[in-house]
Structure 1
Amino acid sequence: MAFRTIDALDPRGKRVLLRADLNVPVKDGRITDRTRIERLSPTIRELADKGGRIIICSHFDRPKGRRVPEMSLKPMAEALSASLNRPVAFADDCVGPEAEAAAAALQEGEVLLLENTRFHAGEEKNDPALAQGLAKLADVFVNDAFSAAHRAHASTEGVAKLLPSYAGRLMEAELKALDAALGNPARPVVAIVGGAKVSTKLDLLGNLTRKVNVLVIGGAMANTFLAAQGHPMGRSLQEAEMHDTARQILEQAAAAGCEILLPVDLVVAAEFAPNPSTRTVAVDRVPEDMMALDVGPDTVDLVEARLRKASTLVWNGPFGAFETPPFDSATVGVAQSVASLTASGALKSIAGGGDTVAALKHAGVADRMTYVSTAGGAFLEWLEGKVLPGVAALEQG
């Protein structure tokens, strides 16, 4: 895909409307994870240093078109200021007279944060009037919120049609990483997909079987595939109603020349609790009164063998219930192997999805992957092969 980046933009003197994603986790009024703010800052800093007048807009939480004080973006102005090491002004609305006056008062290099776009019902409806109100504030539009690009909202797609539009550095990095993962990857490509339910990842599995050389299935969704093959799964979490679908996916993969790698051994326990008594059993030996909560060491060895032959890895979802020890063993083991292969230059590793990011942080390797996406739903929809409206709006015709 060809898309415009800020390399093609001279921002000096221009009012730049920058779509950010400041929907960061907050607890008791405090930001608990500033990753998105830190990743956004280089784009703001670059545009401001080049003389742009930066106007930042974002959504936060789900106020459903109403003003909800605890969902105000005002506290984010302080966090942005600390990250940028420069003042960040705040406007109490994202459109209208107050926003227009604040935007007009900006000098070169100054930064303004607008109030939550979702305080307006028109945001999620992609209301043309709201998009026009946002466009009125600026001369150009820069989208640096890939994580919101799967939504056709006024501040992601609507305004992009009204102003000259560009991808910010974070958006650019996401798009390049995803192109390297599935668009034009170095082969062989291995995909690891974990998680609880086959039913929530049907589109993902279907798309990957057509795009990758090896598809590794872990997590509780692997239980469904194993049960569909006739293996007894005891009390393991699985979806009995998805057995036919699982068999169809296996057939589709075979027809496409994609190897599906399922677990060959499992770590089982009688209860899902921290550090219970566990056993490692073959997939056809799960006791009736026990449940599979992680894959076993033989499976890890098989996965690592495939990775050593691979050039590209796409990872979405853990192998087991990694939040509860010892069921983090497989995820941590594979993650550390991936980090080593990445460091050696043998493997390009792209990972994303909330649980995946948390698992990689838990394993201590989140900063040792080629790229870790914080985009969540947008990352998943891209892997599913879907068109993202916020990205499509940036494409060069």
Structure 2
Amino acid sequence: MSSDPWGRVDETGTVYVRTADGEQVVGSWQAGSPDEALAYFERKYEGLVVEIGLLEKRVKTTDLSAKDAQTAIDHIREQVDAHHAVGDLAALRGRLDKLVETVDARREERKVQRAKQSDEARHAKEALVVEAEELAQSDQWRAAGERLRALVDTWKGLPRLDRKSDDELWHRFSHARSAFSKRRKAHFASLDAQREEARKTKEKLVAEAESLSGSADWGPTAARYRELMADWKAAGRAQREHEDDLWNRFRGAQDVFFAARSSVFAERDAEQSENLKLKEELAEEAEKLVPVQDLKAARAAFRSINERWEAIGHVPRDARPKVEGRMHAVERALQESEETEWRRTNPEARARAEGLTGQLQAAVDKLQGQIESARSAGNTSRADKLQKELDGRQALLDQALKGLQEFGG
């Protein structure tokens, strides 16, 4: 017979373990000596010690769920209660009981933590809903649209609440997004309708302008062209893809008429020379409107100048491109100011504004490089010519940058 403090083997090969309730049969051993039997079941005990130690470590250092931890504890406890090992089984039960307490405490901690996280998620989602509902009334179509998309991404990253609360908040959130999309769609549909109406109006004006281009009734026809021009400006802008073509046809028809009238009155060179002086004075007056400070006042002033301009009549043919070019430059500056104002309501314009700014900046950089190359080569004349071109491009760039900044504001 062999024994140790926690177990023994009797003469029949039966192995016992000592417990507080007395000896319990561990098993029967016939394959070797009693010492080998005890050593075998002591290793069984050491295995349980190791298994409990590993479980204790997992509970303390990992995110093992309380349910899985309890299942593992019950599995080990079944082995301990089966008395198939020799050792201090009561100590193992004590460790398992303590581990149960730890798991229960952890379960409560996680319950509190989940409640806290749920409360935080609820407040976060409520804040998202409030912001979305405010954005739904915004007219800043691009910025508000981008912010709503960002709010959706934020929503997706938050934990779900109970189904009823989550569904109610999502319904409000989704409704706000839908309302914004509906308003934005209606806004741009209205803009499109306005541009289409402008296109139809200008088509009619072009048709009449072209029908008048062959008229020899100089006074009344010129007066009618002035009325057509006023109607043109009052019509508003058509779609970008139509506006330039319509304008070219409209202006071209007037050019045909006034060119014919000019040829008839070619003998009035003195009068035309005086006309040139007057138009140069008007061009100078118009150029003082740039840069545009007050668009409405500038438009009114330019309209007054333009009316006086049209009333003057034609100038010598060779002087016409230059003096009209000066007026066209002022008109383009006014149109650009109008477009800058219009872009504030058009969320699609920013990309184009940024593209234009990039192109102008590239052109300025290129011209600066060419000027430096010309000066290095001693070609002062070319450098001065390029400098004038650079000044013009820089002015356009400065205006484009200012417009982009105003758009961003």
Q: Which has the higher strand share?
A: 1
* TM-score, length basis structure 2: 0.21
Q: Taking CA–CA contacts closer than 8 Å with sequence separation of 6 or more, which of the two structures ends up with the larger relative contact order? A: 1
* TM-score, length basis structure 1: 0.22
**Bigger Cα Rg:** 2
Q: Which has the higher helix share?
A: 2
